[in-house]
Structure 1
Amino acid sequence: MTDPSALLPALRDEAEKLSFDAVAIAAPDRIGEAGARFERFLAEGLHGDMDWLADRPERRTSPRGLWPEVRAVVMLGVNYGPGHDPRTLQARRDRGAVSVYARGDDYHEVIKPRLKALARWLVATAGGDVKVFVDTAAVMEKPLAAAAGLGWQGKHTNLVSRELGSWLFLGALFTTLPLPPDAPADDRCGSCRACLDACPTDAFVGPYRLDPRRCISYLTIEHKGPIPGPLRERMGNRIYGCDDCLAACPWNKFSQLGRDAKLAAREVLNAPALADLAALDDAAFRELFRKTAIKRTGRDRLVRNVMIAIGNSGDPALADAATARLADASPLVRGAAVWALSRLLPAEKFAALAARHLADESDPQVRDEWTVDQAVIPGRREAANP
C-alpha cells in the first residue's frame, strides 16, 4: 500500500473486530519528558522491589532503544470499567477487596493473542515487521498512549480517556511501517485532585508523581517483605491492588461498562471471605487463582495481605483464622498473623500466645512482631509482656 494513511480506517475496523475499544498511532520519538522522568524515578529509588525497571533502562526510555527499526506504535485500549464504585466493598470488613482488573482472567493472556492477530493482519495487508507488547516488556505504554491521543496521564499517573475514564488495559504494536501519528490528547485534569485525595496511604508525592513504595497496589503485589508497620492500618481490607485513585476520577462518569466477556469478573473474586482465603495452602491458591494475574504474586504474599486485612477487620471472630497461621511455613505469613492477632485479641490472650510461640520462633522479623512495643502502632491493643 503506497499511502500508509489509507490503511488506518481498515486498521481501526480490524481492531474493533478483535474487541479493542480504542486505537491510535504514536510516533516512537514523541513521549516528551517521560524518559527523563523515568530516569529520575530510578535515581530516587522509587521503584522499590521492582528491580526489572532498572534493568537496561535505555530500552524503556525510548521505543527505539527497545527496537531501533520501529517507525510507528499502534496503541490499543480495552475497557474494563466495572460499572459500579468498587470502593463500596471496603465497608465489608470480613471480605477481601481485590482490584477490579484482577478479578477475571489475566488480561495479559487475553489481550496478547488479539494483538498478535492484529499484527498478522497488518503484515498480510501492508507488509513490514511487527512486535507486540502487553505490559510485559520495557515499554512505556502510558506515555505512548498519551502521545497517540488515547487519553492523557492524569494526576494519578494512569491514563484517563474522555470516553472510557480511568479503566483501560493497554497494548502496543510496534511496526516498521511509517503510519501517520494521531494528535496527542490535552490534559483535562484541571484543578481536580480527587484521585490524589482518595489515596489511603498518601502515596502521591504531588500531582503526576507517585511513590510506589507507599502505594497499596505495590505493597500487596510487588513488595516481597513484611508490610511496613505505619501503612498496615491504612490498607483496610484491600488484599490485592487498590482502585481508589482510579474510582475517584470524575471522567469515569462517561465510561461505559466493560463489555468484554473474557475479562468479566469471577463471582468468587468479587467479595471473597477473608476466613476462606486465610486457609489457602499452595495447591488451593493455585486452583482458586488459576489463569488470573493474582497467581503470579504467589500464595505467601496474598495470605500475608489477608492477615493484614483480618487485623483491620475489628472482628474477633476472625482471630481463629489468624491463629491457624502462626504455624505457617512462611515467616512472611506468620509475622502478619501476629500483627493481626495483636489487633483482635485482649492483651492477656495475646500474651499467652506469645509465651507459647515466641520460644520456638527462629525468624528475627517474626520475633520482632511478637516483641515490638504495642504503642507504636495506633489502634493496636496493648499486650502484656510475655
Structure 2
Amino acid sequence: MGHEGFTEVTRLAAAREQLLSVVDSPTAAESVPVPEADGRALAEPVDATRDVPGFDRAAMDGYAVRATDTHDAGDRSPAVLDGTDGDVGARRARYVHTGSPVPDGADAVVRVEETEARGERVEVFAAVAPGENVAPAGEDVETGDRLFEAGRRLRPSDLGLLKAGGHRSVSVRERPTVSVVPTGEELVEFDPGYGETTETNGLTVSRLVERWGGDATYRDIVGDNEAALRAAVERDTDHDIVVTTGGSSVGERDLIADVVADLGEVLGHGVALKPGHPVGYGVVDDTPVLTLPGYPVSCLVTAVQLLRPAVARAGGFEPEPFPEFEAALDRKIASEVGVRSFVRVRETGEGTVEPVRGGAGALSSVAAADGWVVVPESVEGVAAGESVTVQRWEPHC
C-alpha cells in the first residue's frame, strides 16, 4: 500500500510491534525512598511487612463496650454502664475517637449518637454485636499480603499503601532515557522572522516523555544537514530511545530516514495513520530511533501511538489505557479506508462532540480538543448522530 510518495506503508499495529521489538526491557534497578517513587516502575514484588491497621481501632466516635452488656438496649430501656478511663470490664464503657485503639476488654463500639452521658454513667440506646464499629488489626492489609507486583507504575495512592505497609524505600526500575532532537532549517527558539517557525514539537514531546515515565533530554535544534543530523543521532545512542521531530517525509529536505539508514537500519518508513503517515523508525547501534513528522498534530499523534508504548517498554511497565467517554457526533467525520484516523473533537454539551477544525499543522486545534475519535482502517467515515468513543489522550488534571 503506497501513500503520498511512500513505496510501502505499514499498518499502525504492525509498526508498533516492529518498533517495540527493538526496545529493550530494563534490567537496572535502584532503591529510592517511597516519597520519591511516584511514577516509577517496581523492579520486584512488594509485600506488607506489618498489619494495617496494626491494632483493633474504633471505626466511629462513641463508647467501647462489651457487646453482651448492650443486649436488649433500646430507646425506652437503655443499658446503663459505668464510665471508665481504663480497660473495659463488665458493664463498663470507655469513650473512644474514630481511629483510636479499642481498649482491652471491649469488643464493640456504640456510636456516640446512640448514647447519652449522665455524670459517671452512660446510657446506651442501641444494642451492638461483637465487632460492630470496630476495624480489626489487619483489616486493610495483613503482614505478608502482596501489595504490588513487579512492573507496577506507582501512583500517589500506592505510595501511601507502601508506607502504611512498612516500607521506607522500594526497588524501582531506572527511568528510561529519551533524547528528543528537533530538526528543521526553518526552526528558531523564539521570535521567528519571515519564513521561520518557533520550535514546539521537541518541547511537547519531551514533556510528554516525562509524563509517561521517561527522563527526556531536550536537545537544541539541528538544521537540515546530513552531517549535523548524523552527529546528533550518534551522540545520543547511549540513551534508551532517540527521537527526532521533523524532516521525516520524502522531500528534498527530509534527510533523517537516509541518515538512520546510513548509520543503522530503517525498519519502517510510512505508517497508515492520519495525521502522521510520514513517521519512521529504525535502530542505530542497538538504540531505537523514532523519526516523528514535523507538523505539530502529526508529531503528537505519532508520539502518542508509537513513542508512548516504547517508553513504557523501556521503563518496564505497561501504558495505562486512556480515559474514554461516549458521545454523539454532531457533524460527520470523513476518513480513508485502510488508514487509521485520529480525529480531534471537542465537547459541545448535552453529550455531543464535534470535530475540531484545522489541519495537521494547526497547533491550536490540539489545545481546543477534549480528545480524539479513533476511526479504524475498515471504516470509511462516521455519520453525524452516531455514538463514538472519545479518548482523552491528555487528561486535564
Higher relative contact order (CA 8 A, sep 6+): 1
Higher helix share: 1
TM-score, structure 1 normalization? 0.23
* TM-score, length-scaled by structure 2: 0.22
- Give the structure with higher Rg (CA): 2
